[in-house]
């Protein structure tokens, strides 16, 4: 966890190699101190992101750790890598029986058929969720719920 590598610094904030925890000057409704974290996206001279109003130092540290892990995962996958290329790279490094590889290739082939030539960085979670729902409805033979034409949500009052 990130908190283990922090040192107390003058001014009420704590430093780590990849981010800072800051005790905010304003207190919460109950008078307890509020905490925030900040980090730089691309090192010195780059944009600094700050998120705050955590109830405890621990909550802020855990949120910072989750955010830094998300950034690390994002940096490992090239944004220009297509879904088909990602699947091939995944299968190439997967050290299991050939039967398992073939089953994975078959299962992941459904994603490749839908998103194969699209860069991974362009996919949105809503697209993937809609695809998964449609896939499960095809497998069970049921019909998916009607979707709103404006926002793509089920049961929306927007029409």
Q: How far apart are CA 22 and CA 40, in angstroms?
A: 14
What mean pLDDT is predicted for residues 27-47? 87
The answer to whether residue 124 is domain-embedded is yes
Beta strands at 20-27 and 13-15: parallel, antiparallel or unpaired: antiparallel
The answer to whether residue 19 is domain-embedded is yes
39 plus 88 within the same structural domain: no
* Of residues 54, 23, 27, 49, the one with CA closest to residue 38: 49
126 plus 101 within the same structural domain: yes
Contacts 24+ apart (CB under 8 A), 142-147: none
pTM over 0.85: no
Domain boundary among the residues 61, 76, 91 is at 76
- Count of domains forming the chain: 2
CB neighbour list of residue 108: distance below 8 Å, 6 or more residues apart: 87, 90, 91
How does pLDDT run across 72-120, given as a tens digit for each residue? 776 665 667 899 988 988 888 777 788 998 999 999 999 999 999 998 8
The answer to whether residue 157 is domain-embedded is no
24 plus 56 within the same structural domain: yes
- Cα–Cα distance list, 72 to 51, 75, 121 (Å): 18, 5, 14
Q: What tokens does 137 get? A: 């409805």
67 plus 94 within the same structural domain: no
In the block, residue with structure tokens 């009607």: 146
Domain boundary among the residues 51, 76, 101 is at 76
The answer to whether residue 22 is domain-embedded is yes
**pLDDT band (50, 70, 90) for residue 45:** confident
Domain interval for residue 67: 2-76
44 plus 94 within the same structural domain: no
């Amino acid at each position: 966890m990130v908190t283990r590598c922090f040192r107390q610094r003058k001014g009420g904030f704590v430093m780590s190699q990849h981010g800072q925890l800051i005790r905010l000057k304003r207190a919460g409704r109950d008078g307890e101190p509020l905490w925030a974290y900040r980090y730089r996206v691309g090192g010195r001279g780059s944009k600094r992101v700050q998120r705050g109003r955590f109830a405890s130092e621990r909550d802020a540290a855990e949120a910072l750790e989750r955010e830094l892990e998300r950034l690390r995962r994002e940096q490992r996958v090239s944004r220009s890598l297509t879904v088909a290329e990602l699947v091939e790279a995944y299968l190439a490094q997967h050290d299991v029986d050939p039967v398992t590889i073939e089953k994975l290739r078959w299962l992941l082939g459904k994603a490749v058929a839908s998103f194969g030539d699209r860069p991974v960085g362009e996919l949105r979670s809503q697209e993937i969720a809609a695809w998964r729902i449609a896939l499960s409805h095809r497998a069970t033979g049921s019909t998916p719920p009607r979707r709103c034409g404006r926002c793509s949500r089920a049961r929306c009052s927007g029409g």
